[in-house]
Amino acid sequence: MKAAVFQGTKHIEFKDWEAPAVGSKEVKLRVKCCGICGTDQHIYHGYPGSAEVTAPIVLGHELAGEIVAVGDEVTTLQVGDRVSVDPNIYCGNCYFCRNGKVHLCDNLQAVGVTRDGGMGEYCVVPVANCYLLPDEMSWIEGAMIEPLGCVLHGYKKLDIRKAHQVLIIGGGFIGQLFLQLVKAAGVKGIIVSEPEVFKHDRLVELGADEAVSPAAEGVMEALHHQFDIVIECVGRADSMELAVKASRKGGQVLMFGVASPDTLIQVSPFEIFTKELNIMGSFINPYTHEESIALIEKGIVQIESLISHQFSLKDIPEIMGEYPKLRVSKGIIVHER
């Protein structure tokens, strides 16, 4: 098969790659659509993903496809089924798996991270990681179930009330998903901090009461100590520090953005103490696929209108190197058939 193969830091090749064999409890997919995640960019630039990456490997953990072969022990799915993939594979035996926190598994494996993923024409995944897609759901929506599931996991950590004022820091794809979920909860007010002004009208259309630029004069100070809930979707030191500052007393701060491992922030423990803040992290998406499919199926979350760029598989080596310059809100690979 053809695949975009990660060969090491800042090096991807589009080349012939051995099509994977199918294990007894696995299915083989003809990949139809694969998202390009911020984590893929982290890996490309030499940082770890959700688990350690060993090159050469085919990246791509946001994927949907059509089943073309099934293993001998597979009885729940069949050739021709349309599925979305939850990439995360848990060992079931470590402390965290045995105590209800499988996503923190000490032996975590993941499609597109530790084993070949969706940036190839075909992909083999455990049948347990496949979720049937409704007939009316597009391949793009099917591939985006995974990032929506990650957002949903973070969202469920929050105690959201109707009277709450919410700040979302970052109006890209992830921020737009959070915005739709928070809007559906019927909170009192939502402000999105987003430096790229051309996104502001779209953020208001999706449910924000206001979109503001953090670079505008007086905006940062005006955001301080105002919000019951702050959701950080960027992973930069300045935005994470703003998340703490923007929270009012008794506030909740969700640090969702993926920072580089060497990023450090300056936070006053006294401020955390006197505000009695609840600061949380959120890691991947344990068993959120079915609910995420339902959110799209019911029209609570829009997906396709959030996609800013579509790419072909053969262009991935060039695209991954140029990605920061392309102003991509969300990019996907649409496999040519």
53 φ/ψ angles, rounded to the nearest 5 degrees: -105, 130
pLDDT at 267: 96
Q: How far apart are CA 103 and CA 88, in angstroms?
A: 8
Q: Which of 321, 328, 306, 288 is nearest to 37 (CA)?
A: 328
Q: Which ranges of the chain have pLDDT less than 50? A: none
Q: What is the pLDDT of residue 49?
A: 83
CA dist 14 and 120 (Å) reads 9
User: What's the residue count for the chain?
Assistant: 337
In the prediction, which pLDDT does 324 show?
A: 87
pLDDT of residue 336: 67
- Contacting residues for 36 by C-beta, under 8 A, at least 6 apart: 60, 62, 311, 319, 320, 323, 328, 330, 331, 332, 333
Report the DSSP pairing between strands 130-132 and 247-255. Answer: unpaired
Catalytically active residues are 39, 42
Number of H helices, E strands in the chain: 10, 18
Tokens 């959030």 locate to: 306
